[in-house]
Amino acid sequence: MEIEAAKYLAAGIAIGLGAIGPGIGEGIAASKALEAIGRNPEASGKITPLMFVSMAITESTAIYALVISLIILFG
């Protein structure tokens, strides 16, 4: 019984801490991209795709945390 509770706690901590960093990082990336587009609207064609690529790479960290959390739960 205690092992099950520890698994749930560990999985929750893994996904919680693993998702907070990418969330903050994506917010900062979007903020800076919008700031740059606001200063130079002509550069939006170059900035927007790079922002999406960086957000996808950042989001992969949260997906890794989800995978680890599922391994803890069902492994």
Class of domain 2-74: mainly alpha
Tell me how far apart the terminal alpha carbons of the chain are, to the nearest angstrom.
Answer: 16
Distance separating alpha carbons of residues 62 and 21, to the nearest angstrom: 8
User: Confidence class of residue 2 from pLDDT cuts 50, 70 and 90?
Assistant: confident
Average pLDDT value for residue range 44-72: 94
54 pLDDT exceeds 80? yes
Q: Which two tokens stand for residue 55?
A: 């957000």
Distance separating alpha carbons of residues 46 and 26, to the nearest angstrom: 18
Domain residue spans of the chain: 2-74
Please give the C-alpha separations between residue 75 and each of 7, 13, 51, 67, in angstroms, as whole numbers: 10, 16, 35, 11
User: Confidence class of residue 75 from pLDDT cuts 50, 70 and 90?
Assistant: confident
